[in-house]
Chains A and B, each alone.
Chain A
Amino acid sequence: MARKKSIADRFADWLPRLVLAPSLLAVIVGVYLFIAWTGWISVSSSKMVPQYDFVGLEQYYRLWATPRWHTAVANLFIFSALFLAVTIAVGLIMAILLDQNIRAEGALRAVYLYPMALSFIVTGTAWKWILNPNLGIQKVVNGLGWESFVFNWITQPDFAIYTIVIAAVWQSSGFAMAIFLAGLRGIDNSVIKAAQIEGASLPRIYASIIVPMLRPAFLSVIVLLSYISIKNFDLVLAMTNGGPGSATEVPSTFMFSSVFRRNQMGVGAASAIMMLMTVAAIIIPYLYSELKEGRDGH
């Protein structure tokens, strides 16, 4: 029979848990309790201030009956699809080009990645100016002699969302490049050599051998870019402020204006819960598979 532990020993046993406790508490409150709280507001009649009553799914009905929300959801799909496709394509091309024993690779990589260090507000401010139809790129092209060139998408309701895609791709493609490049560097060179000896051309080797081997990198990039596109808020606000009209409204700006400008807290909370569920549907399976693989792999 072991002797009873002294108080000091027992304290030492519990110390790791005590150290972790404040963080755990902060996250349980700040993430999980707050999510539940937002959920509660979304089933209440809250308008300007939170009301803690229960009105069922009324706010969700109201949300889905709002045309502006439909615009926001449609924009999110357009934006995400284009943003993911173009960012992945550009990122992959940059990574493959950089992987060809390039001189000054470090400098080029730094150039492709620096936009990731900028705030979306800065990016948005810069691109809004570049896309200014009177004084920006359009005028430069006009000045070069192409007088009829028009590039006024940012002021056109049907096209403004694409200008946000351009700026977002500019900001994030370096990030995709970094993950793809890490993936490429992890591929054994002998695979390429063997294929070359068999007479396969380089583009062929990339298309049918190397790109398929980048599957884990693709998964990470897709998940993280999806998360970025759902979260996207600052960039829209800085570039178009949701306009012209409500043409570039996305769920995040919809949520913000419902709560802070339109006194529709309940509807705003309902839209926040919709966003959360979308993110969770993407992220939770991803985290699960990453963690499981990590456990099996190591």
Chain B
Amino acid sequence: MAIEYGSAARSRMIGRTMIYSGLIGLAAFYLMPLWVMVVTSLKPLDEIYGGSFIGLPKVLTFEAWAKAWSQACIGTACTGLKPYFINSLMMVVPAVLLSTGIGALNGYVLTKWRFKGSNLIFGLLLFGCFLPFQAVILPMAQVLGRLGLSGTIPGLVLVHTVYGICFTTLFFRNYFVTIPDELTKAAQIDGAGFFRIFFSIMLPAALPIMVVSCIWQFTQIWNDFLFGVSFTAGESSPVTVALNNVVNVTMGRKQYNVDMAAAMIAALPTLFVYVVAGRYFVRGLTAGAVKG
């Protein structure tokens, strides 16, 4: 008996060891690119061409970061990523707030003030979540041109808000469905109107999903490339477009350390949000699997 028990425990041990080594091996694979980006960005160029790839820098330098931030050339303008980073901020803040606010109102109407045809409207909005944007960039470019918004940050804010409300409406609708109708009905009987109920009952209850919506929208809009590259040029581009231009400079000796520093700069805001509020980020991701 004792022997049998021992072998069972041993095979369990072996199983656990295999599980943990699998998990740790995978973790190493996921962390490797980030590691490579960081160490490359902190090395002088000679060390990189000298063949150090994965190791820690022998000479630690922040020169590449400084260059990527304020000197690297994007096209003919050698301004670094700084102005484009600011462009992205100017674009992302209003677009996130607008799309989240509108999505909250829409979700409220679609759950607590249903009317004939409201399900159809939800269906129409839902398909917008899965629109391949290639199917709309040509007309959008025309319309932005007519509105005098082509190549501008407000133009990008408009575009991201329009296509963002599909997702934010989905978030809020699926969240508000879980709030019992009796709550709003009772408030109505007490004489509270449409907006009163929204601001004093729904919004305070919706804090978690507001965080989800803001984080999701922030990540999507910050990381967007297609709209940025289609509707802007030169100095009004968002940071992703500028990063791609920095990396694709073909003149001279390639400055891989500057490329990696630039990539890190473009990645830091969304990484920061992920580290601070990863839980909410995951909820946004899995909400794409529509059921709520």
Contact = CB atoms under 8 A, between A and B. Distances in A.
Interface of A: 12, 15-17, 19-20, 22-24, 26-28, 30-35, 37-38, 41, 50, 90, 93-94, 97-98, 100, 102, 108-123, 125-130, 132, 135-137, 139-140, 143, 170, 174-175, 178-179, 182, 202, 217, 220-221, 224, 227, 230-231, 233-234, 237-238, 241, 251-252, 255-256, 259-260, 265, 268-269, 271-273, 275-276, 279-280, 283-284, 287, 290-291, 293-294, 297-298
| Chain B interface residue bracket vs A | 35 or more
Q: Which 6 A-B pairs have the closest CB atoms?
A: A16-B113, A119-B223, A220-B289, A117-B274, A37-B139, A34-B136
B248 A241 contact: yes
B267 interface: yes
B271 interface: yes
A139 B51 contact: yes
A126 B49 contact: no
8 contacts: A16-B115, A20-B105, A27-B124, A27-B165, A102-B23, A129-B36, A136-B53, A220-B289
B123 interface: yes
B260 interface: yes
Contacts of A37: 138-139, 142
Interface string B124-135: 111110111111
Given A28-B124, A31-B131, A287-B126, 16 more contacts: A26-B161, A34-B136, A94-B23, A97-B26, A109-B282, A110-B278, A120-B223, A125-B244, A128-B247, A129-B36, A130-B32, A135-B53, A140-B54, A175-B285, A220-B289, A237-B225
B36 A130 contact: yes
B225 A233 contact: yes
B114 to A, nearest CB: 8
A23 B51 contact: no
Given A23-B165, A27-B165, A129-B40, A97 B19 contact: yes
Find the residue from B23, B124, B127, B133 having the highest chain A CB count within 10 A.
Answer: B23
A135 B240 contact: no
A279 B30 contact: no
B136 A35 contact: yes
Nearest to A275: B132
Contact of A291 (B162, B247, B256, B290): B290
Find the residue from A15, A126, A224 having the highest chain B CB count within 10 A.
Answer: A126
B150 interface: no
A30 B136 contact: yes
Interface in B238-292: 240, 243-244, 247-248, 256, 259-260, 262-263, 266-267, 270-271, 273-275, 278, 281-282, 285-286, 288-292
Contacts of B165: 23, 26-27
Contacts of A132: 256
B223 A272 contact: no
A264 B255 CA distance: 35
Contacts of A113: 274, 278, 281-282, 285
Contacts of A202: 15
A119 B136 contact: no
Given A31-B127, A135-B48, A174-B30, A119 B270 contact: yes
Contacts of A256: 134, 226, 229-230
Given A31-B128, A174-B30, A234-B240, A293 B138 contact: no
A100 B124 contact: no
Contacts of B194: 12, 15-16, 19
B243 A121 contact: yes
A34 B143 CA distance: 10
A252 B118 CA distance: 33
Contacts of B288: 220, 224
A94 B26 contact: yes
A202 B12 CA distance: 11
Contacts of A175: 285
Contacts of A26: 161-162, 165
Find the residue from B33, B163, B273 having the highest chain A CB count within 10 A.
Answer: B33
B196 to A, nearest CB: 11
A84 to B, nearest CB: 15
A135 B49 contact: yes
A102 B26 CA distance: 14
B211 interface: no
B189 interface: no
Contacts of A174: 30
Interface in B1-55: 15, 19-20, 22-23, 26-27, 29-34, 36-37, 40, 48-49, 51, 53-54
B140 A30 contact: yes
B59 interface: no
Contacts of A108: 23, 27
Interface string B192-228: 0110000000000000000000000001001111100
A215 to B, nearest CB: 13
Contacts of A20: 105-106, 109-110, 118, 121
A155 to B, nearest CB: 14
A119 B267 contact: yes
B232 to A, nearest CB: 12
A122 B36 CA distance: 13
A126 to B, nearest CB: 4
